[in-house]
Amino acid sequence: MSTILSLPDQSTASLPKVSYLNKEYGLKSWLLTQDHKRIAILYLIAITFFFFVGGAMAALIRLELLTPQTDLLAADTYNKVFSAHGIIMVFFFLVPVAPAVLGNFLIPLMIGARDVAFPKINLLSWYLFVSGGCIELTMMVFGGVDTGWTFTTPLSTHYLNTNVVAAAMGIFVAGFSSILTGLNFLVTIHRMRAPGMTWFRLPLFIWSYYATSFIFVLATPVIAIALVLVVLERIIGIGVFDPAKGGDPLLFQHLFWFYSHPAVYVMILPGMGVISEVVACFCRKRVFGYTAVAFSSVAIGVFSFFVWAHHMFIMGISSYSALVFSLMTMLVAVPSAIKIFNWSATMYKGSITFDTPMLYTLGFIGLFTIGGLTGVFLASMGMDIHLTETYFVVAHFHFVMVGGMVTAFMAGLHFWWPKITGRMYPESMGRIAAVILFTGFNLTFFPQFILGYLGMPRRYAAYPPEFQVLNVFSSAGATVLAVGYLLPLLYLTWSLKYGKIAGANPWQAAGLEWEIQSPPLTENFPVTPIVTHEAYDYEWLASKKGSEVPTVG
Amino acid sequence: MDSHTLAAQTADTGHVEDEHAPFLRHHFESVPQQREAATFGMWLFLTTEIMFFGGLFCSYLIFRNWYYPAFVAGSHTLHIWAGTLNTTVLIVSSFTMAMAVHAAETRVRRALMGWMIATLILGCGFLCVKAYEWHDEWVDHHVPGLNFGPESFLHGTKAYPDDKLPLDVAEKTQLYFSLYFLMTGMHALHMIIGVSLLTILLIQVRGGKYVNGHVAPIENFGLYWHFVDIVWIFLFPLLYLISRHQ
Ligand SMILES: [Cu+2]
């Protein structure tokens, strides 16, 4: 039962005496915690670390590409550096970042639960993630791997003598972390919702995390078995991928992309969930077409399983299956466009304020649209044959992954930072960083579309001199982008101690997570909340502002 | 604290006071919710297992279509009696496991332990037969990568004189055996994990757990056990029974 309390005024807000952050002290209380909020913080720390390791690799790549010759890095070192960049960024940053950090923190809060369904498994999945990451880092220290993040056979099984086995095992271990996280979220969303929290009262954030979790559970085991086969092929030569023994290298591609294409949606769907929340809050409106947005998440999740062979158009798959996969790939544009249109429609006639999360959100919508549409180019076979394995592909997936996912994650991190820490980040710094990030990103990756269109292949340390101007642009942009990422690291850390006290609901946002104190109590809700209204009820919130807004606790 | 001990006592006498049951974790509202969550989680886990084995089944399907004669010849070298015996052993073990779950639900500790021990023995029996088969295949040079020679497929066998393959086809039996060892190996790995878990549960039951209404761990282990059993039900015809009638 919810008690009626007045919403604390932000200017006089004080930090709550007891919260999940200060209930217990000491390293042990963090490393053995079963609290989903603390586990989210553990993930945030580990993932930030991996992000900057991967970012350092990216810096090396851009430095090398400043000139046409191979001067900074030798060709085989360059191969190892871009492989490390890919492996770290895909498996240890993009895949876990939004689910494990924001999802862990927010899913129980948003549905009115005291924790995820299996807290111990949640902690276990963090340890698996860190173990997998340590295997990768050790592997890199002892010589690295140069297969690229895709482990393409027969290159990875027969022609290299780098640490393929260790790299594959690291991903295998981290994969179980994904599986367990997805499983935990699914059970939590199904079984732990507060009374009255029906499926269509759920925030859209939950819907997109639901689709994400399904992909985790269904796709990750397939890459696990694919990597096991690569390892066995290398160690004892089982022959499944070896044409000399009757095996087929293309089989690996099928198994690998059966995971890795849906994984792309693991990287973008949570971002879409974040954007739905932020758009609604900063336009003071219910998200336009709630049901359509909810089901488009599910549709993206389902479609994602039937498009994988678009990575193999030039690898000799039959032209009929290529045709079907090409069509299916284009179909994914439909649910994605539904989301973009609905967010735009939400903004139409909304009272928009341009706080940092909203700036990131606007950046996301623009960059994701470009990234998504170039994906449709690549889905059409004629274009793909020209563009595949060029910088066009690199630019495309960086627009979706970095321009889309990372920007959305930044939006979410800023939006819920007051809830996570109880303090505000410096708003003006936030806005500056958001603009720097957007500028730097476009400067880095837009030239790569042109480079790719002109035919510059990816994964080479050297290139013809006529491509230099655009590469210099790209490298210069990467410097700006780096500032855009370092700045939040600095001021967010600063705000932990010196930020303004946020109060329970600094954004006047709707949603169960804003009705409890920030930072929340360990048990989240002192009394189980009863949900009586739909998500994003901003009109109701506006009319009842002040003394009548119910907050729990 | 008092209410907790009281709840434990009522649980022992069969009147479960749900909200205060000692095994109810703090973040669940009620015992049924906790039990449903655990069971749902187990089913999801089994789904991931299906996808895991799915990759292997998919590879099997492709290569069996490409190299059918080699797969037939490879399959003919397996001991059909061993496969049949193991299938029977596993089906019986599924029955004993189901009885164990029933015993846990009716809270009869001796019956529960009895059925669990029976399941454990059958599981170990399965693994022994499997190890014997693998040993035989090693002796016959049928282990791809480590110890493989196509010679035995060039001249036909006593039971199947038609299995006379040209050398290039005989080489392809290697893929059959790769998949055979991968699939039975993964299955055996799951059996070993199952037997280990069962041992742990057995020790806990001896200590008095799972007969107080908290049957979810036994029930969910049962699900896992039946799943591993079902995988074998598919493996047996796919690996042992290819074109046995000729
Ligand atoms: Cu794809």
Mean pLDDT estimate for chain A: 89
Decide if A13 is inside a domain: no
- Is the predicted ipTM greater than 0.90, yes or no? no
Number of Cβ atoms within 10 Å of the Cβ of B15? 10
What is the Å distance from ligand 1's center to A323 Cα?
A: 15
Which secondary-structure segment (H or E) carries A227? helix A204-236
pLDDT of residue A3: 32
Identify the residue whose tokens are 């001896």.
B206
- CB contacts < 8 A, A to B, total 111
Our CA-based measurement puts residue A232 at a distance from the nearest CA of chain B, in whole angstroms, of: 9
Tally of domains within chain A: 1
The CA distance from A204 to A287, in Å, is 9
Which domain does A383 fall in, by range?
30-545
Q: Which residue of A has its CA nearest to B66?
A: A246
Q: For residue range A429-481, what is the model confidence (pLDDT) as tens digits? A: 999 999 999 999 999 999 999 999 999 999 999 999 999 999 999 999 999 99
User: Does the distance separating the beta carbons of A229 and B48 come in below 8 Å?
Assistant: no
Q: How distant is the Cα of B207 from the closest Cα of chain A, in angstroms? A: 23
* CA distances to A176, A265, A280, A379, A412 from A106, in Å: 22, 20, 17, 35, 11
- C-alpha angle B67/B71/B76, rounded to 5°? 155
Token pair of A398 as six digits? 């960086």
| B175 with A239: Cβ contact below 8 A | yes
- B49 CB neighbours in chain A (<8 A) are 221
pLDDT digits over B99-147, tens only?
999 998 888 888 899 999 999 999 999 999 999 999 988 888 888 888 8
- Write out the two tokens for B90: 């596993």
Query: Which candidate from A117, A225, A232 shows the least CB-CB separation from B41?
Result: A117
pLDDT per residue as tens digits for the range B176-214: 999 999 999 999 999 999 999 999 999 998 888 887 778
* Residues in chain B within 8 Å Cβ distance of A245: 144, 171-172, 174-175
Indicate yes or no: CB of B33 within 8 angstroms of CB of A192.
yes
Cβ contact (<8 Å) for A240 and B52? no
As a whole number of angstroms, the longest Cα–Cα distance in chain A is: 77
Amino acid symbol at B240: Y
- The yes or no reply on domain B49-241 and CATH 1.20.120.80 is yes
- Exposed/middle/buried for residue A348 (C-beta within 10 Å: 0-12, 13-18, 19+): exposed
Residue A260 near residue A224, CB atoms below 8 Å: no
CB-based burial of residue B246 (10 Å sphere; 0-12 exposed, 13-18 middle, 19+ buried)? exposed
The rounded distance, in Å, linking the Cα atoms of B169 and B70 is 6
* Residues of B in Cβ contact (< 8 Å) with A229: 55, 59, 182
The whole-number pLDDT of residue B12 equals 40
* CA–CA gap between residue A418 and residue A524 (Å, rounded): 15
pLDDT in tens, B217-226: 899 999 999 9
> Cβ distance B158 to B149 under 8 Å?
no
Closest CA–CA distance from residue B37 to any residue of chain A (Å)? 6
Q: How many C-beta neighbours within 10 Å does residue B135 have?
A: 10
Residue owning tokens 């393929």:
A164
Q: Does B146 touch chain A (CB under 8 A)?
A: yes
Q: Are A535 and A201 in contact (CB under 8 A)?
A: yes
pLDDT range class, residue B1, cuts 50, 70, 90: very low
Tell me which residue in B48, B51, B174 faces A246 most closely, judged by beta carbons.
B174
Is the CB of B27 inside 8 Å of chain A's CB atoms? yes
- Pinpoint the alpha helices (H) of A285-355: 290-303, 319-347
CA–CA dist A433, A476 (Å, integer): 17
The Cα A411–Cα B160 span in angstroms is 68
User: Mind spelling out the 3-state secondary structure of B58-111?
Assistant: HHHHHHHHHCHHHHHHHHHCCCHHHHHHHHHHHHHHHHHHHHHHHHHHCCCHHH
Query: Separation of A307 CA from ligand 1 center, angstroms?
Result: 7
pLDDT of residue B57: 93
- For residue A484, give the CATH number of its domain: 1.20.210.10
Residue A104 has what pLDDT? 93
Specify the residue for token string 């079907």. A324
Please indicate whether, in this complex, the C-beta atoms of B51 and A248 are within 8 angstroms of each other.
no
| pLDDT above 90 as % of chain B | 50
CA–centroid distance, residue A375 to ligand 1 (Å): 9
Asked if B231 reaches chain A (Cβ–Cβ under 8 Å), the answer is no
Element of type H or E holding A394: helix A391-398
Kindly state the DSSP code that residue B148 receives in the 8-state scheme: E
User: Does the residue A519 lie in any domain?
Assistant: yes
| Residues of A whose CB is below 8 A from B175 | 239-240, 245-247
Task: Please list the ranges in chain A whose pLDDT falls under 70.
Answer: 1-12, 540-553
Dump pLDDT digits (tens) for A282-318. Answer: 998 889 999 999 999 999 999 999 999 999 888 888 8
Chain A residues within 8 A of B25 when measuring between CB atoms:
119
Q: Chain B contact for A523, CB < 8 A?
A: yes
Instruction: Report which of residues B78 and A412 the model is more confident about.
Output: A412
A533 touching B (Cβ < 8 Å): no
Asked if A238's CB is within 8 angstroms of B182's CB, the reply is: yes
| pTM, entire model | 0.90
Is A383 contained in some domain? yes
* CB proximity list for A524: less than 8 A, separation 6 or greater: A108, A109, A113, A114, A115, A516
On the question of pLDDT at B160 being above 80, the answer is no
Identify the pLDDT of residue A271.
Answer: 94
